[in-house]
Amino acid sequence: MTLRIRMNTEIPEDTATLGRKLLKENNRYRVIGDHLPEIVRDEDFADIYASTGRDAVSPALLSMVTIFQFLEDVPDREAAEMVVMRLDWKYALHLPLDYAGFHPTDLCYFRRRLVENEKEALVFDRVLKKVKALGFLKKKGKQRTDSTHVLAVVQKLSRLELVTETMRVALRAIQGADESWYQQAIPASFAEVYVETRRDYRLSDAERQVALRQTGADGFWLLDLLDRDGPLGIQTLAEVETLRTVWEQQYERVEGQVTVRKTMGVNCKELIVSPHETEARSAKKRDKSWIGSKVHVTETISEDPEAEPNFITDVTTDLAPAGDTEALGTIRQNLRARDLLPEQQIVDEGYISGQAITESRAEGVELTGPARPDPSPEGFRLADFQADPEKGQATCPAGHQPERWSEHTTPEGQRTMKAHFGSQCTGCPFFGEGKCTQSAKGRTLSFSEHYTVLAARRLEEKSEAF
């Protein structure tokens, strides 16, 4: 599709006359029409359209309609009807009263075009830039960040259902890509097994295991066939790549024997749970379980909530099982690019760690929030020891010093320091009372390289000011 610049910068006379007569001055769509023209322009989207082809619906128009339908929580079909029937929408969009609209699928294709061209944040950034130019957003100040879950529109699948559905999807994609090769290479009896989605709720455990192994063998046969004789275009299909990944996660093949993995061959951040949405992940946070992803929203905090509105400054999507602290780097990077890095970022305990506090301070941001409780066993905890691991100093509640210190560096490059109190613990009055260790080897304390920062935060939490 080709782009022809044509969104109106002025409100057409017929719409303006009727709108100013019927719409109140504080109507949000009238405010948008009067004061926020050209939030986005067709030119902003020029690089994601071809130079030839049929004319596209104005992407600036579609982007504003996307915002409006989010405000009113309506689907594409209803949003397209509102563009035709609603005076306030036409006023905000600078459309004439007789504008006949567009097909609702244009909204779907527009969003897909944004995603495929990695322009998901384009409209958001343009709106934010306009709000900033109007003086509503100030540099520095306070902002807060929190996360919530995003549900994938997929069914929860058992292990057998996952692998059989992955096979079905892959075979359907292969058939659609090259019908002739499919008919010649794939036996009809093989294809028939995976024509329909398979459910396993009526199978016994033994039957389920047999079906899992058979599906695994079938999948490896198909992958071997594709590697050996499959056309290049089929070998690189996304559905085939998904099949390959799922099989690596679910199965092992040793000397030709296919076995089902007792434990997944991957951590939960990478584990595919549906071939229909390969970025969806299974996650649990406290008592909430879901399949999908996680989104982190950052917004300003007004000094005077009565007079100043709050504005969202960043939206970062991450894998569902990922820890909140893992998103902080991306969030700060986005805020820095928008010149909106705050002086203080307020978060909950999921974002707080000694490393996160240290890294935030290095960028001029004070990360404020409660730390997670000390995970040490019951009895004497780390806070009960007078410790400065960087200096190699520690004193236990009974007044003993470590017999030795050791240091370990994780594969991620994080240092861990350990204080070993050794055999002296067996002569301690607290030994074996449940307050400290019961091991003949004595108590061993582990300190991260950011321990002192986290300990200071836990102490700060007890203050009235905090």
Alpha carbons within 13 angstroms on the beta-carbon side of residue 189 total: 0
For range 42-63, the mean pLDDT? 86
Q: What is the pLDDT of residue 53?
A: 76
Q: What is the pLDDT of residue 127?
A: 87
Q: What is the pLDDT of residue 412?
A: 76
Q: What is the mean pLDDT of the chain?
A: 91
Asked if 197 and 172 count as a contact pair (C-beta separation under 8 A), the reply is no
Compute the distance between CA of residue 385 and CA of residue 388 in angstroms, rounded to an integer: 9
Q: What is the pLDDT of residue 272?
A: 95
Residue 266 pLDDT greater than 70, yes or no: no
Convert the pLDDT of each residue in 125-135 to its tens digit.
988 988 888 88
Residue 1 pLDDT greater than 80, yes or no: no
Residue 113 pLDDT greater than 90, yes or no: yes
Q: What is the pLDDT of residue 133?
A: 86
In the structure, what pLDDT confidence band is assigned to residue 136 with cuts at 50, 70 and 90? confident
pTM of the model: 0.84
Convert the pLDDT of each residue in 182-234 to its tens digit.
999 999 999 899 988 888 888 899 999 999 999 999 999 999 999 999 998 99
Q: What is the pLDDT of residue 165?
A: 96
Residue 158 pLDDT greater than 70, yes or no: yes
Radius of gyration of the chain (CA): 30
Q: What is the pLDDT of residue 135?
A: 84
Residue 413 pLDDT greater than 90, yes or no: no
Residue that wins the pLDDT comparison between 262 and 350: 350
Residue 116 pLDDT greater than 80, yes or no: yes
For range 168-189, the mean pLDDT? 95
In the structure, what pLDDT confidence band is assigned to residue 5 with cuts at 50, 70 and 90? low
> Among candidates 263, 185, 268, 190, which has minimal Cα distance to 231?
185
Asked if 394 and 372 count as a contact pair (C-beta separation under 8 A), the reply is no
Q: Around Cβ 402, how many Cβ atoms within 10 Å?
A: 23
Residue 6: strand, helix, or coil: coil
Compute the distance between CA of residue 335 and CA of residue 80 in angstroms, rounded to an integer: 33
In the structure, what pLDDT confidence band is assigned to residue 414 with cuts at 50, 70 and 90? confident
For range 250-275, the mean pLDDT? 86
Residue 73 pLDDT greater than 80, yes or no: yes
Convert the pLDDT of each residue in 333-391 to its tens digit.
999 999 999 999 999 999 999 999 999 999 999 999 999 887 776 788 888 899 999 88
For range 42-64, the mean pLDDT? 87
Angle at 206 between CA 202 and CA 207, to 5 degrees: 50
* Beta partners for residue 291, in sequence order: 282
> Among candidates 88, 129, 83, which has minimal Cα distance to 104?
83
Give the rounded distance of the alpha carbon of 174 from its chain centre.
30
Asked if 336 and 136 count as a contact pair (C-beta separation under 8 A), the reply is no
Q: What is the pLDDT of residue 6?
A: 64
In the structure, what pLDDT confidence band is assigned to residue 305 with cuts at 50, 70 and 90? confident
Asked if 62 and 56 count as a contact pair (C-beta separation under 8 A), the reply is no
Convert the pLDDT of each residue in 427-436 to its tens digit.
898 887 778 8
Tell me the pairing of strands 366-368 and 251-254: unpaired
Q: What is the b/e burial string over 314-332, where b = at least 16 CB atoms within 10 angstroms of the residue's CB?
A: bebebbbbbebbebbeebb
Residue 60 pLDDT greater than 80, yes or no: yes
